[in-house]
Amino acid sequence: MVILSRLLDPNEREVKRHLAVTEAVNALEPELEELDDPGLRARSDELRKRAQEGEDLDALLIEAFALCREASRRAIGLRHFDVQLVGGIVLHQGKIAEMKTGEGKTLVASLALYLNALAGKGVHLVTVNDYLARRDAGWMAPIYHLLGMSVGINVGTAGTFVYDPEYLDETHPDSRLQHLRPAGKKEAYSADITYATNSELAFDYLRDNMARDLTQCAQRDLNYAIVDEVDSILIDEARTPHIISGQSEESTEKYYQYARWAGRLSEGEDYEVDLKHKSASLTETGIAKMERWAGIKNIYDLENVIEAHQINQALKAKALFLRDRDYLVKDAEVVIVDEFTGRTMPGRRWSDGLHQAVEAKEGVKVQQEQKTIATITVQNYFRQYDKLAGMTGTAVTEAEEFHKIYGLDVVVIPTHRPMVRTDSPDVIYKTEKSKFEAVIDEIVEMNQEGRPVLVGTVSVEKSERLAKMLERRGLKHNVLNAKQHEREAAIVAEAGQPKAVTIATNMAGRGTDIVLGAGVTDVGGLHIIGTERHESRRIDNQLRGRAGRQGDPGSSKFFISLEDDLMKVFGPAADRIGRLMTTLEVEPIEHPWVARSIASAQKKVEGMHFDARKHVVEYDDVMNKQRQIVYEERRKVLEGANARENILGYVREIIAKGVDQHCQSRHAENWDLEGLVKYLSTYLPIAPGSEIPENALAKGPEGLVEHLYGAASEAYDRKIEEVGADLMPMVERDVMLRTIDWQWMEYLTQMEHFREGIGLRAYGQRDPLVEYKNEAFEMFNELRERIEGNIVMAIYRVQVQRNAPAPAPPPPLVRQLTESGPGELDGSNGADRGAKAQQRRAAPLGQTAAVPAGEAAK
């Protein structure tokens, strides 16, 4: 039966197909070994020429992979194994390669990056943090350099670099990073291969679409990307959008007021909490209290939408966000703790007023809410690439999501050496106290055997509790969590030594292998202890994956209690197990039924999270199409599209609309000419009360439109004469860009509030998504009309003084731009730098020399 299932396994069949290709790659090896370095470079140049002349990359794969392997052997002393070649083929095909920890994902990526870079359109390797981007680029760059490929590194605040073997920074302790020469973003993106963080790529895309001049744009078209730790970037971070925002001017006192009121509410009576869906909602009693305290008649009236939203955020801050689990209060600031890694994320802020609500709850200074200027979700940024691929140690549990949202299939790559890790069944205890005591006993037993132990916890608070218990037993240990960034490198280095005990929150230190010390393989290798099942099986598998790398021995075991969060969320199953324990008078229980129940609970939670992310995508797809339209129009302006023609097109639409509204009668004497003139005077240089000539009226509505358009066109030509034909294109561009940017920013705020309230439509038996799409379509049409109308208004009123001193630059659209987005998984382990702030001051928007007065400068 096992043989039959393997024959029918599509993954197995695909791997076998690719292994046949690796034989052809191997056959080229002796021939390439005979070439000297210039000969190898010449073969690479020939491949590049063929690719850029349009030859299919699939036809070049065998020779490209053979060249890359030979260059790797010479440049860095590493030769790709056959299974690594299989991984490279999977990545080239635009799929996700699931490869276990220690199987050399960084080296595998070099194959597909080199092959796809041959076409000359640029390829990106996307990492979760700047340390890994610099480390991997510096490590792999000698391979690419030998083959004639340039390498760029773009990591935001940590700098932008290109690999240059002639450049040497001897002050850097890591030899792999000594040849990274500081460079501009454009040079980094112009390189054949660019290593970058996911957040910097998305922010550069947004910045390019806020630029005032083409020279300020850095990115090329999005051609091909490999996303490292793809599950972390495309799934864990997917619900957090990248946002560039500015501070609003509103008072912060209201946040303290709402926090005080929320503090007076009682769970059950005034509000209800749904842990399963992570939501809190006011009951009828709670609504009545809030309305009384706020002096509002109906909190859910459209005019009170902002107050209702802020009250709801205050309730969420009170009921769902716990200090030392979801955030820390450090130096009078609220610092977020990443739920997946247990790391603090200084500088990162929750959006939509939630961070302010938590600050008010904790009584620290509330920082003003941000006004969104540009935003894009992780999903919609990466879906723009012509071809996308990914690598991770754990993807198969989320295969459905990768396929449905990104169109990515997962292929499991076999390990180079057989996996010999032993995974024990879960043991379940009635209370958390008895579970932790059992964990300590297990650590003591492993310690006596001389084995290193890595203990995974789900929060900072649990890791510190366990550390105190170990202290009481006199056991030496290290703690790797959100509060210990500085010592992280040393802790990871020691984690594989004999008798080492390391406590880590979730997957802190991801991206760095734990290397076993002398003699550890002889006593059984690294032992992993999980102290709680995570909501996602993938996170549990990541913890297990820290042991048994590259065929090393190792083992893992999870300890669970009925008081764990996962068991609380799924109460009935936990109650059944509890009753069984009481009846049989046994503790702990170790049974396959328990494991199945927990796996079932995890699948349900994963399903809910998938639905939530799918929900985000469905709604954001609407905004994404609108964003693309606005950005395309904006780009045309930057690239020097015929502004006069476009603006006069807007003028014709305004005139046609005015005539249609005021001249509906078949008889001219019944037309509302006074109303028409008043309407047109808003946009065009027509004085209210002006009269329209009789001969224009005699030609009917269409003739009237042509007459008015002719007059507007002449007025436009006079404006060009007044401003100067040399200056006018600059003025037109400035007016159009500033109007588009301002109106788009206002529209984003409007849509945020609209989307918030759309869920209430479900109570009226209407599909909220359908309602959202319909109304968003109407609102977007209104936005386009506003943009066109404001451009016309501004252009006819613009005043430019020739031969005058240069005017002051226009005021920014908002004060103090900041960028926020998903936090990084900081693989630097503290060796290189502290955690990167995920909300930071941004460079000001580009400003042009010509500054129109009046409307355009508003």
Q: What is the pLDDT at residue 685?
A: 86
In a domain, 605, yes or no: yes
Per the listing, tokens 């929060």 go with 459
The pLDDT value given to residue 130? 84
The enclosing domain of 556 has a CATH number of 3.40.50.300
Residue 80 placed within a domain: yes
Residues 6+ apart with CB under 8 A from 42: none
If asked whether residues 563 and 492 sit together in one domain, one would say yes
- Helix, strand, coil share (%) of the chain residues, nearest 5: 55, 15, 35
Is 836 part of a structural domain of the chain?
A: no
Stated pTM of the model? 0.76
Q: Which of 797, 823, 850 is the last residue of a domain?
A: 797
Angle, nearest 10°, between helix axes 82-92 and 105-117? 50
Q: Give every CB contact of residue 365 below 8 A, 6+ residues apart in sequence.
A: 332, 333, 359
* Cα–Cα–Cα angle for 202, 207, 213, rounded to 5 degrees: 145
Residue where one domain finishes, among candidates 751, 779, 797 = 797
In this structure, the answer to whether residues 228 and 96 fall within a common structural domain is yes
Query: What's the confidence (pLDDT) of residue 656?
Result: 93
**145 within domain boundaries:** yes
Kindly state the tokens that stand for 649: 């097109």
CATH number at residue 650: 1.10.3060.10
Contacts of residue 595, Cβ cutoff 8 Å, sequence gap at least 6: 425, 426
Q: What is the pLDDT of residue 653?
A: 94
Segments of the chain with pLDDT less than 50: 1-2, 4, 302, 484-486, 763, 807-809, 811, 815, 825-838, 840-858
Give the integer Cα–Cα distance in Å for 579 and 148.
68
Same domain, 602 and 650: no
- Domain limits at 44? 2-242+380-412
pLDDT at 224: 98
- Do 259 and 282 lie in one domain? The reply is yes
Domain boundary among 610, 631, 662: 610
Query: How high is the pLDDT of residue 508?
Result: 52
What span, in angstroms and rounded, lies between the C-alpha atoms of 691 and 702? 18
Question: Do 503 and 457 fall within a single domain?
Answer: yes
Q: What was the pLDDT predicted at 409?
A: 95
- Describe the strand order of the beta sheet including 224-228 as a list of residue ranges: 180-182, 160-163, 151-154, 193-197, 123-127, 224-228, 387-392, 96-98, 410-412
Rounded Cα gap, residues 56 and 507, in angstroms: 40
Note the pLDDT tens digit of each residue in 230-254.
Answer: 988 888 887 778 888 876 656 788 8
Is residue 833, in this structure, part of any structural domain at all? no
Instruction: Judge contact between 527 and 533, C-beta under 8 A.
Output: no
Amino acid at 847: Q
Residue 561, domain member (yes or no): yes
* Residues sharing a CB contact under 8 Å with residue 461, sequence separation 6 or more, in sequence order: 324, 325
Query: What value does the mean pLDDT of the chain take?
Result: 84
Indicate the number of domains in the chain. Answer: 4
**Are 575 and 482 part of one and the same domain?**
yes
pLDDT in tens, 246-281: 766 567 888 999 999 999 999 989 998 877 657 788
User: Do 394 and 465 fall within a single domain?
Assistant: no
Q: Are residues 405 and 431 in the same domain?
A: no
Same domain for 659 and 540?
Answer: no
Looking at the structure, tell me whether residues 49 and 194 fall in a common domain. yes
Same domain, residue pair 86 and 202: yes
- Please give the single-letter amino acid code of residue 28: L
Q: Is residue 112 part of a domain?
A: yes
Same domain as 389, residue 266: no
Whole-number Cα distances in Å, 362 to 259, 280, 385: 9, 19, 42
CB 310 within 8 A of CB 318: no
Q: Give yes or no for a contact between 568 and 431, defined as CB atoms under 8 angstroms apart.
A: no
In a domain, 57, yes or no: yes
Q: Are strands 501-505 and 453-457 parallel, antiparallel or unpaired?
A: parallel
